[in-house]
Structure 1
Amino acid sequence: MTDAAALQERPIAVQIGFNKCATLSLTRLFNRSGVNSLHCNWSKGKGRQEKPLYQARIHRNLKAGRPAFEGLEHFSGFFDLELIRPKRHYENFKQFRAIAEAYPQAKFILNTRDKAKWLRSRARHTNGLYLSKNMALYNESEEQVIARWAQDFDSHHANVRTYFADKPGRLVDFDIAADPISKITDFFAPHFQLDPVHWGHAHKTSDKSWAQQEEDRWSSFDFARFGT
């Protein structure tokens, strides 16, 4: 059996919620518990020294009809499957159907949070650079980008929940603010022995000093008008 075929037959963890929903914290939980995991375009496990464009590879695999993680067999966890560049935007996590079909032993995390807080966090992400990249790539105003994100949030959550509704044991719906981490650790046991001591909130946008400035314009922006 090839490495690629072996990966399709063993348990893996795949996060299919959006960024700014504790993706790095989840990755660290898995990595520090001994589960070699990929986050966006980097890894602290095997293969970090190679620094390939992981998301581009996953995108090419999916486009060619190959299993998404072909060539990435040294990973058992896949997180933050998105990457935006000046001329392209990979949202590989939205291909959850193809991933689920190619990897029957895969278990999925729909990481989520309050939508208004998520929109604010995304608008602030990387000092607004993530928002600016979206504006340039999609030729949209700030308002249009945020409205698109809000609609995308609703449709993606609905699509994921509908798809997995008749697939018990394959999806955990995890609210990063409301749910205990035991919801994750119990879901992946006994395949992955995740130690909750490694759970914490990394890269929490609202904790950054620039986001605490009195003149931060996003503090008073009404994100709730885009729906809850």
Structure 2
Amino acid sequence: MAWDWLRPKPGRIFLIGHNKCGTRSFHKLLRKNGYSSIHYDKGRLARRIQANFTFSKPLLDGVDGYCGYTDMELCGEFYAYRLFPLLDLQYPGSCFIYNTRDVSRWVDSRMNHRKGKYARAYLDRMRRAYDDHSLTLEDLRQHWEEAWQLHDLDLRRYFAGRSNFFAFNISVPSEQAALCRFLRRRGYRIRGKVLPHAGARSSQASS
């Protein structure tokens, strides 16, 4: 449209759910619709944010040229999406998207990720961090379930009543459609109503 230049540009989008919950599919949705997005980047994204946090710099210093930010983690070390209050403070006008799925299936997906290498690496780092080599994969499973519940509670408390927050279940088509409508209302030009498939399983977006 001729007057599009008058519209304010939409802000950044932070995907603040866990990995194995459609993170790559959401990244692909943004890219497909012409928005720049960074996904994991072999851990470099989370590592840069971690360094910025440690040395009191703006969290996105050095990686601030994107619209979308997804899969901001270092396995068993650092989870940048847990810094959502600081991201909200430092980058006003941003949207925060909480991607969810059935918790038990999410844990299973993490356990099977990279043929179990992800879980073993996480458990090894957890054992070293707590100086407790008796921790087992079953302990890890319980830890992940508890971490999910805590993150869910923290997000819903912090963003209660906020218009820049949207939670959706990646496995429910109607909620994927609602996500696309939400983004359009926020000024993003998103075509369609489903997440593009990306990942190991064709039945749902699980990456």
Task: Identify the TM-score tier after normalising by the shorter chain.
Answer: 0.7 to 0.9
Q: In the alignment, does 2:116 pair up with 1:128?
A: yes
> Which stretch shows the higher mean deviation, 190-199 or 23-32?
190-199
Specify the alignment match of 1:216 in structure 2: none
Identity of aligned residues (%): 26
Q: Matched residue pairs, number?
A: 186
Residue pairs, 1:16-55, within 5 angstroms: 16-41=16-41, 53-55=44-46
Aligned residue identity for 1:130 = Y
Q: Distance in 2 between matches of 1:206 and 1:184?
A: 20
Please tell me whether the aligned partners of residues 17 and 97 of structure 2 are also in contact (alpha carbons under 8 angstroms). yes
- Any conservation in 1 of the 2:177–2:194 contact (CA below 8 Å)? no
Unaligned 5+ segments in structure 2 are 1-8, 128-134
What is the deviation of 1:54?
2.1
For 1:115 and 1:176, the matched residues in 2 are separated by: 12
Runs of 4+ in 1 over 4 A off after TM superposition: none
What is the match of residue 223 of structure 1?
none
Paired position in structure 2 for 1:5: none
Alignment partner of 1:74 out of 39, 61, 65: 65
Segment drifting more, 105-114 vs 134-143: 134-143
Residue by residue, what CA displacement relative to the aligned partner does 1:144-194 show, whole Å, maximum 9, x if unpaired? 11110000000000000000004x211101111124322222222253212
Q: Is the 8 A contact 2:101 2:170 kept in 1?
A: yes
Deviation of 1:202 (Å): 1.4
Which amino acid in 2 is paired with 1:122?
R
Q: Distance in 2 between matches of 1:54 and 1:201?
A: 23
2:181 counterpart residue number: 186
Contact 1:125–1:131 (8 Å) recurs in 2: yes
Q: State the TM-score, normalized to the length of structure 1.
A: 0.75
RMSD of the TM alignment (CA)?
Answer: 2.1
Check the 8 A contact 1:185/1:194 in 2, yes or no.
yes
57-66 or 11-20: bigger deviation: 57-66
Indicate yes or no: 2:187 matched with 1:199: no
Residue 174 of structure 1 is matched in structure 2 by: 168
The code of the aligned residue for 2:189 comes to Q
TM-score by length of 2: 0.83
Quick one: distance in 2 between partners of 1:10 and 1:193? 10
C-alpha contact (below 8 Å) 1:32/1:198 kept by paired residues: no
Residue 81 of structure 2, aligned match among 88, 93, 97: 93
Code of the residue aligned with 2:37 in structure 1: it is S
Residue matched to 1:144: 139
Contact 1:12/1:105 (<8 A) preserved: yes
